[in-house]
Chain A
Amino acid sequence: MKQTVTYKFLFTITAMLLLCINTTAQTKIYGKAYSSKGKPLSGVNIAIKNSYDGATSDSSGAFQFETSDTGKVTLSGIMTAFIDFEQTIDLKNIPIKIEFVLFPSINELATVQISAGSIEASDEKRTTVLKPLDIVTTAGGNGDIIGALKTLPGAQQVGEAEGLFVRGGSNSETKTIIDGMIVNNPFFSSVPDIAQRARFSPFLFKGTIFSTGGYSAQYGQALSSVLVLETQDLPDRTASTIGVTTVGFSAGHNQLWADKKMSIGVDANYTHLGPYIATVKQQVDWVRVPVFSGGSFNFRKKFTDTGILKFYAYYNSSDLANKAQSIDSVREYKPLFDLKNDNFYSILTYKERLGEKWILNLGASYSANIDRIKIDTNKIKAFNELSQGRVVLSRGYGRNSIVRFGGEYQYLSDHSSYNQLTRFMYDNYTAAFVETDIFISRKLVLRIGERYDNSTWLRNDKFSFRSSLAFKTGLFSQVSLAYGQFYQKPEKDYLWRNRTIDFENTQHFILNWQYVSDSITLRAEAYYKTYENMVTTSPKYQCLTCAPPEVFYLDTANTGGGYARGLDIFFRDKKTFPGIDYWISYTFLDTKREYKNYPKSVTPPFAASHSGSLVVKKFFPRKMWGFGTTYTYSSGRPFLNPNNTEFMGDRTSDFHALALNVNIIRTIGKAFTVFVFSVTNVLGSKQVFSYRYSYDGARRQEIGPQAPRSFFIGMFMSFGQDRTKDVINNNN
């Protein structure tokens, strides 16, 4: 009995020892790691999962180690910025040779992107052409979003009117979109011959996409271009700001709740051009110098980790009046232009993730604008309101592919009066779209979209097709093609005259090549655009009762059209000259159109054949100051000379402008302070945008900037609860 027990005992021990020997038996694993380009990859962490065993590949990509594990295990190869490699191997004391390839992980550099037609500024994405800060630090831009975008290819250098004139299109063909919804009055109300600024501060937005054509089916009612702005989420801290400039004051406060889930912000601003106009001589006589005052309010709240509600409201009131010599009078005669404007804008959006794959975007917006204008003795009042709602759902599928669909509704009303005459029009506009980005591979993506627009005022609807294809040709380069159909309601002035006119439309064909690395961006885009159904006008004289005056009206019809073709080139380099960041853009444009009262198809006054910009920025991080300079050039633009038998046969002289700005960053007390000095047209080059002729063609007036040069000096202080300074002060 005892004997058997001992045997059993010995047997157990032996078995244990054997087991023990078995576990200490070593299997050799060796091999090589390669990159997807076939080059050896060093630094890869090769490991048996959940064990200590493994090695790091050396400079020849080779690795070797031994493991005492047995049976089926998972071998992994891991390297930062690459997709993990995994393979199941069977360990049986026999050396195992493994060679594997690691692919760069899906990041923007490695994956193809839809890029035809659009230039993006974002901090979140790594491969954008611009950063949001570029918009405020571009010389000549004067902190206006539009100013900076005008240094990009595709946009024309038009100084006498606000907005963006893109690829042969007029400013009314570019729409501004905030968080998916159209903004009706993105600029301060027009003043004859003086371009107005955009209403919204660039600091409101975290992302900007300037699309010069071929854009997504999400956006409609724009023939040429969309400027897509995305508002900021929660601020990263509580902060107050104060701004003092040569033209006014501003102050604001953003309060971030301690749980970092809610914020409320307010700001107020007051602009008075009096002192400035008194210093810098102006072209026109100001009866009442421009005064702008307003404020805004914002509320942002995160209800969940993935959902955010944002509300923004803006109000601004402006007042100005000037007198300029009338060209039709030989004697001194300066008719009055008097403008009072009130503008209100509000937007509410909600974004939430639904489950793993779905994202819901909801939006609503209301805006109103009143212009009270006096021109000489005539009184004009224009009051428009826009209410809109938008729903978009998107769902990811496959590796990167996504489908989006949604709809929007707008109610637009317009009450206007001219002396005693009044008019009223309204439109119920509905649109729906569906679009998908299909990643056929990481190198090839196809976007197809369809949009439906319906206007009850026009009693008409349209389907438009959009598509884009992008193919990655190298690590940093890609080729894209885009095609799209775009419809837009004719300008308001024509809409109320004639409810039987049709949407105007364009088609865009775009071929794009781009190279985008960390430090170099080179982008070339060729395009062809057709214009159809453009509204033309012809004066009609009608004799109603014949003895009293004839009734004159404009007949409108969709008989116009035209084309635009050209080449846009953009080059940005942050590397060649250390510390210097510069970009060059060149725009070639060939366009002709027949629209409005044009007797034939001609190049319109807002199109120059050649234009370009050179923007240079240098920042000295140690001394915390920087400067920027922007040179813009544009060849002459057409203007109407009644003495020339050829319609729009004349050209202005070339346009040159050199702008300079200096930014100095300091801490004053506890405030982070930025001083800005800027000058436009430093060299005082003569700038003529166009000419205005007297009725008989005998005399003409130059239309140019208000002053040969403009100056701006500003100080912007930010009082954040920035602990850095507290910490430093406490330790002194």
Chain B
Amino acid sequence: MKKQIALIALTFIGSVIISQNKKYEEQMKNNVAQMDTARSKSHVQKITNNFERIAGAEKKEWLPQYYTALGYIKLAYEESGEAVDVFCDKAEMFVKAAEELKKDNDEIIVLKAMIASARISVNPMVRGQQYAALSASLLEKAKKINPENPRAYLQQGLGIYFTPEMFGGGKAKAKPIIEAANEKFKTFKPKADLEPNWGAPTANYFLNEINK
């Protein structure tokens, strides 16, 4: 009888844990799906807030930290002037938290490169050289860890796309890299269900822009 009670109790506790896990997965899945489609600033802010809450509750999971950072980077892109730095600072905070949970991860390094690129817009004359170099070296690092990461190629391609032609940038030079990213998106399989799998539509969009 005692055994039975213990078994029931265990099942009960287990089911609580499972339901907690299920909640995490459900919430994450829902928000990751929304992050891909969110267009308006307020929508991105809302999803980022959702991730930030999950990140606060699930301190051992790197993915909520990762997606919160990604959200703040997207918000930084929407800003101009010095507000960009404020959002980048916040994104950096979550990137650091993610890094502590998951060391030497190519996806997290790609986010760091994105933050560096975003910061250029605050003052291109002063920051251009320094942050472009930082971003490029981070993307190289990410590619070294995982040569098949399409987002590293995409960000590298976009960096070149937005660099003035006389600095070796421009559409023509960006094209082969974004094409490479596009190829890698076709074969890319995330390691786990919730792991980063975004960016294919962006690569497509910019390829269309280039081929116009």
Chain A interface residues toward B at CB < 8 A: 2, 5, 9, 12-13, 16, 42-43, 45, 47, 49-56, 59, 78, 80-81, 123, 126, 131-133, 236-237, 518-519, 619, 621-624, 665-667, 672, 720, 722-729, 731-732
Could you tell me if B140 and A723 are in contact, using CB atoms closer than 8 angstroms?
yes
Q: How far is the CA of A727 from the CA of B177 in the complex (A)?
A: 11
For B46, what are the chain A residues with a Cβ–Cβ distance below 8 Å?
43, 56
Q: Report how many A-B pairs have Cβ atoms within 8 Å.
A: 113
Contact of B201 with A by CB under 8 A: no
Does more than half of chain B's interface fall in helix, strand or loop, or is it mixed? helix
For B129, what are the chain A residues with a Cβ–Cβ distance below 8 Å?
672, 720, 722, 724
Contact of B67 with A by CB under 8 A: no
Could you tell me if A621 and B124 are in contact, using CB atoms closer than 8 angstroms?
yes
Could you tell me if A723 and B164 are in contact, using CB atoms closer than 8 angstroms?
no
Q: How far is the CA of A16 from the CA of B5 in the complex (A)?
A: 12
Could you tell me if B42 and A728 are in contact, using CB atoms closer than 8 angstroms?
no
With a 10 A CB-CB cut-off, give which of B124, B126, B166 has the most chain A CB atoms: B166
Q: How far is the CA of A624 from the CA of B75 in the complex (A)?
A: 27
Digit string of B9-33 for contact with A (CB within 8 Å is 1, else 0)? 1001000000000010001000000
Q: How far is the CA of A619 from the CA of B8 in the complex (A)?
A: 74
Could you tell me if B168 and A59 are in contact, using CB atoms closer than 8 angstroms?
no
7 contacts between A and B (CB under 8 A): A45-B53, A47-B53, A667-B168, A720-B129, A722-B129, A724-B129, A724-B132
Q: Can you add 17 more A-B contacts, CB < 8 Å, to A45-B52, A126-B85, A720-B133?
A: A47-B49, A47-B52, A47-B53, A50-B57, A56-B45, A56-B50, A132-B126, A518-B82, A619-B125, A621-B164, A624-B166, A667-B167, A672-B129, A723-B133, A724-B136, A729-B168, A731-B177
Contact of B123 with A by CB under 8 A: yes
For B5, what are the chain A residues with a Cβ–Cβ distance below 8 Å?
9, 12
Q: How far is the CA of A45 from the CA of B56 in the complex (A)?
A: 12
For A52, what are the chain B residues with a Cβ–Cβ distance below 8 Å?
23, 27, 53-54, 57
Question: Which of B49, B53, B126, B130 has a CB less than 8 Å from the CB of A133?
Answer: B126
Q: A-B pairs with the 10 shortest C-beta distances?
A: A45-B49, A43-B45, A56-B46, A728-B168, A56-B49, A723-B137, A723-B136, A724-B136, A47-B53, A727-B136
**Nearest residue in B to A667 (C-beta to C-beta)?**
B167
Q: How far is the CA of A294 from the CA of B1 in the complex (A)?
A: 94
For A236, what are the chain B residues with a Cβ–Cβ distance below 8 Å?
130
Digit string of B131-155 for contact with A (CB within 8 Å is 1, else 0)? 0110011011000000000000000
For A53, what are the chain B residues with a Cβ–Cβ distance below 8 Å?
53
Chain B: interface size category: 35 or more
For A724, what are the chain B residues with a Cβ–Cβ distance below 8 Å?
129, 132-133, 136, 159, 163, 167-168
With a 10 A CB-CB cut-off, give which of B27, B57, B163 has the most chain A CB atoms: B57
Could you tell me if A9 and B168 are in contact, using CB atoms closer than 8 angstroms?
no
For B56, what are the chain A residues with a Cβ–Cβ distance below 8 Å?
47, 49-51
Question: Which of A12, A13, A623, A729 has a CB less than 8 Å from the CB of B164?
Answer: A623
Could you tell me if A237 and B130 are in contact, using CB atoms closer than 8 angstroms?
yes
Q: How far is the CA of A45 from the CA of B57 in the complex (A)?
A: 14
Could you tell me the distance in whole angstroms from the C-beta of B32 to the nearest C-beta in chain A? 15
With a 10 A CB-CB cut-off, give which of B5, B139, B168 has the most chain A CB atoms: B168
Q: How far is the CA of A5 from the CA of B4 in the complex (A)?
A: 11
Contact of B206 with A by CB under 8 A: no
Could you tell me the distance in whole angstroms from the C-beta of B148 to the nearest C-beta in chain A? 17
Contact of B72 with A by CB under 8 A: yes
With A52-B54, A78-B52, A237-B133: A732-B166 Cβ-Cβ less than 8 Å: no
For A622, what are the chain B residues with a Cβ–Cβ distance below 8 Å?
164
With A81-B83, A724-B136, A731-B177: A54-B53 Cβ-Cβ less than 8 Å: yes
Could you tell me if A80 and B168 are in contact, using CB atoms closer than 8 angstroms?
no
**Nearest residue in B to A78 (C-beta to C-beta)?**
B52
Contact of B86 with A by CB under 8 A: yes
Question: Which of B90, B159, B168 has a CB less than 8 Å from the CB of A725?
Answer: B168
Q: How far is the CA of A43 from the CA of B119 in the complex (A)?
A: 22
Could you tell me if B42 and A59 are in contact, using CB atoms closer than 8 angstroms?
yes
Contact of B87 with A by CB under 8 A: yes
Q: How far is the CA of A126 from the CA of B86 in the complex (A)?
A: 11
Question: Which of A55, A126, A131 has a CB less than 8 Å from the CB of B126?
Answer: A131
Could you tell me if B81 and A518 are in contact, using CB atoms closer than 8 angstroms?
yes
Q: How far is the CA of A310 from the CA of B172 in the complex (A)?
A: 45
With a 10 A CB-CB cut-off, give which of A131, A132, A723 has the most chain B CB atoms: A723
**Nearest residue in A to B130 (C-beta to C-beta)?**
A236
Could you tell me if B12 and A126 are in contact, using CB atoms closer than 8 angstroms?
no
Contact of B199 with A by CB under 8 A: no
Could you tell me if B136 and A623 are in contact, using CB atoms closer than 8 angstroms?
no
**Nearest residue in A to B163 (C-beta to C-beta)?**
A724
For A723, what are the chain B residues with a Cβ–Cβ distance below 8 Å?
133, 136-137, 140
**Nearest residue in B to A663 (C-beta to C-beta)?**
B125
Could you tell me if A727 and B164 are in contact, using CB atoms closer than 8 angstroms?
no
Question: Which of A42, A51, A727 has a CB less than 8 Å from the CB of B140?
Answer: A727
Digit string of B54-98 for contact with A (CB within 8 Å is 1, else 0)? 101100000000000000100100000111011100100000000
**Nearest residue in A to B82 (C-beta to C-beta)?**
A126
**Nearest residue in A to B177 (C-beta to C-beta)?**
A731
For A665, what are the chain B residues with a Cβ–Cβ distance below 8 Å?
166
Contact of B196 with A by CB under 8 A: no
Question: Which of A5, A16, A518 has a CB less than 8 Å from the CB of B1?
Answer: A5
Contact of B173 with A by CB under 8 A: yes
For A729, what are the chain B residues with a Cβ–Cβ distance below 8 Å?
168
Contact of B176 with A by CB under 8 A: yes
Contact of B182 with A by CB under 8 A: no
Could you tell me the distance in whole angstroms from the C-beta of A84 to the nearest C-beta in chain B? 12
Contact of B158 with A by CB under 8 A: no
For B45, what are the chain A residues with a Cβ–Cβ distance below 8 Å?
43, 56
**Nearest residue in B to A126 (C-beta to C-beta)?**
B82
Could you tell me if B42 and A43 are in contact, using CB atoms closer than 8 angstroms?
yes
Digit string of B87-126 for contact with A (CB within 8 Å is 1, else 0)? 1001000000000000000000000000000000001111
Q: How far is the CA of A285 from the CA of B8 in the complex (A)?
A: 107
**Nearest residue in B to A54 (C-beta to C-beta)?**
B53
Q: How far is the CA of A672 from the CA of B163 in the complex (A)?
A: 14
For A81, what are the chain B residues with a Cβ–Cβ distance below 8 Å?
83, 86
With a 10 A CB-CB cut-off, give which of A16, A54, A236, A724 has the most chain B CB atoms: A724
**Nearest residue in B to A105 (C-beta to C-beta)?**
B86
**Nearest residue in B to A50 (C-beta to C-beta)?**
B57
Contact of B35 with A by CB under 8 A: no
For B57, what are the chain A residues with a Cβ–Cβ distance below 8 Å?
50-52
Contact of B203 with A by CB under 8 A: no
For B137, what are the chain A residues with a Cβ–Cβ distance below 8 Å?
723
For B125, what are the chain A residues with a Cβ–Cβ distance below 8 Å?
133, 619
Q: How far is the CA of A624 from the CA of B124 in the complex (A)?
A: 10
Q: How far is the CA of A728 from the CA of B140 in the complex (A)?
A: 11
For B139, what are the chain A residues with a Cβ–Cβ distance below 8 Å?
727
